[in-house]
Chain A
Amino acid sequence: MAVLKDATAIVGIGQTPFAKQLPEAERALACRAILAALDDAGIAPDEVDALASYTMEETDEVEVAKALGLGDLTFFSKVGYGGGGSCATVAHLAAAIATGQATVGVAWRSRKRGSGPRPWKNTTAQLPTPAQWTRPYGLLRPADEIAMLARRHMHEYGTTRDHLFNVALACRNRANQNPAAIMYDRPLTREMYMNSRWISEPLCLFDNCLETDGALACVLVSTERARDCRRPPVYVHSAAQGLPAQHHGMVNYWNDDPLTGPAWTAARHLWKHADLTPDDIDVAQIYDAFTALIPLSLEGYGFCGRGEGGAFTEGGALEIGGRLPLNTSGGGLSEAYVHGFNLITEGVRQLRGTSTAQVPGAATCLVTAGEGVPTSALLLRN
């Protein structure tokens, strides 16, 4: 049986600038990010034979392959559920390459959310039927949906706004070290956080990710092929998707235990097929569309016990030098929100030793996709 463990490696990463508004269209941005990633790997575009992206990606594989002069494709895949799909794009490519369906894979995400429309502004004409149970009552935006879980977590476990601030601050501090981050020159203070406007109580402005235009890509090949590439390989040690029993996307309110979401399901598979445990992880890139997802994910991926995710953030645990340095490029909260793909590329930089907020000697990194929706995760090592 083909084994996924360390069989493939990420050998190239690329990105466009990140901004509230970029002049180019999503397709052009996608092409630029992919070409940058291939150049980083030292692989010619016509060698690419596999593509993977998100179902929400508007630039489809036919157009991308045509525009970039890619070779014959023998594998292509799209993963659903928005930010839950980020790590799964890499996982699908890894599986395809490990089983001989392809040799050079590219995953990408291009998005103009900064200057584009907000999905929750859709009128009834576009309202999907699952929304009949939530939207008429004014639970309109992802922030509203996650705030419901955040409030319950606070009630059950004593999680506080200071805990959420710890998350926002760690991400902002890292962004302040990263010239590519949208919030590079904008420090955050506790006073700013506590005095900011509410978005959906108990979540305030700084609990929410950025609205960003930008694109990113990465290149995956077999471990054997990776030895010939331009950069040191970053191995896909373990990968998992997670869609728990009785899950309902974003509003995981109707299973037995709404506070154990998709992260728990993905984590069980991820660790089962790894030589590592949470104690072995040097740095983590955890999906942060909202600060409140971090405590839930810390619990789900086993860095602490159920209900301890808030307290875990205390004492600088998420800062450089702390117990688990978090989102070291600034994450979705302070670098760019491109459906979590920047967390993958930052994981690669950490393991190459080239992050702007480098964790000394980082050899292992957990990267996760969105908690709250059918999700995915990667364990990367160098």
Chain B
Amino acid sequence: MLTPVVDDDGAPFWEYAAQGELRIQACADCGELRFPPRPCCPHCRSFATEWRRVAGRGRVWSYVLPHPPLLPDYAEQAPYNVVLVELTDAPRIRLVGNLVSEPGARLDSVPVERIRIGARVQVVFTATGLPQWVLERP
């Protein structure tokens, strides 16, 4: 499986994720959240940054079901879902992820017919610290 190639701006996201925390970069001056991480606030141009813990609840904004040909590790689990989750407590902050039956489960572990736009989801983390999502009402 592909692992994130981390840059300086994104490193804190992955460090918190490895500890089981979903944190989003925020401006330490004006407080606006931003994603993906970057060095400067697009609202007030401040370089002061903090990482704000969020509840990790969201709704499925959209999803796709990739089919092969794919990279071998992914082809083996296809068709699987990739979801775009919009955070409940931070509209406009959206995270690409996978909807799974439990942390670390296969990418195809949730039946396709259970996936719909608007479904409420909750963040979980794999053993390696990759955020994933489970349905709030499985």
Residues of A participating in the B interface, judged by any CB pair closer than 8 Å: 121, 123-124, 127-141, 143-144, 147-149, 151-152, 155, 197-202, 246, 248, 251, 253-256, 258
Q: Tell me the complex Cα distance, A42–B135, Å.
A: 65
B62 and A151: CB pair below 8 A?
A: yes
Q: Tell me the complex Cα distance, A121–B74, Å.
A: 12
B4 and A139: CB pair below 8 A?
A: no
Most buried by A among B4, B10, B98: B4
Q: Tell me the complex Cα distance, A15–B68, Å.
A: 33
Q: Tell me the complex Cα distance, A258–B66, Å.
A: 20
Chain B 73-100: CB-based contact to A (< 8 A → 1; otherwise 0): 0100101101010000000111111100
* Contact count band on B: 35 or more
Q: Is the interface of A mostly helix, strand, loop or mixed?
A: mixed
A132 and B66: CB pair below 8 A?
A: no
Residues of B participating in the A interface, judged by any CB pair closer than 8 Å: 1-7, 10, 14, 35-36, 42, 61-67, 70-71, 74, 77, 79-80, 82, 84, 92-98, 107, 117, 130
- When A152-B117, A246-B42, A254-B35 are in contact, do A132 and B5 touch as well, CB less than 8 Å? yes
A129 and B5: CB pair below 8 A?
A: yes
A200 and B5: CB pair below 8 A?
A: no
A253 and B84: CB pair below 8 A?
A: yes
Q: Nearest Cβ in chain B — how far from A256, in angstroms?
A: 6
Q: Which of A131, A132, A144 contacts B64 (CB 8 A)?
A: A144
Q: Tell me the complex Cα distance, A332–B92, Å.
A: 33
Q: Nearest Cβ in chain A — how far from B80, in angstroms?
A: 6
Q: Nearest Cβ in chain A — how far from B25, in angstroms?
A: 12
A199 and B62: CB pair below 8 A?
A: no
Q: Is the interface of B mostly helix, strand, loop or mixed?
A: loop
Q: Nearest Cβ in chain B — how far from A269, in angstroms?
A: 21
Q: Tell me the complex Cα distance, A200–B1, Å.
A: 18
Given contacts A136-B130, A201-B65, A253-B96, 17 further A-B contacts (CB under 8 A): A124-B5, A129-B7, A130-B36, A136-B3, A137-B97, A138-B77, A138-B82, A138-B107, A139-B64, A143-B66, A144-B64, A199-B66, A200-B65, A253-B94, A254-B36, A254-B93, A258-B94
Q: Which of B2, B80, B92, B117 contacts A124 (CB 8 A)?
A: B2
Q: Tell me the complex Cα distance, A149–B117, Å.
A: 12
Q: Tell me the complex Cα distance, A127–B14, Å.
A: 17
Q: Which chain B residues border A148 with CB–CB below 8 Å?
A: 62-64, 82, 84
A152 and B62: CB pair below 8 A?
A: yes
Shortest 5 CB-CB distances between A and B: which pairs? A132-B4, A201-B65, A152-B62, A129-B7, A147-B64
Q: Nearest Cβ in chain B — how far from A259, in angstroms?
A: 10
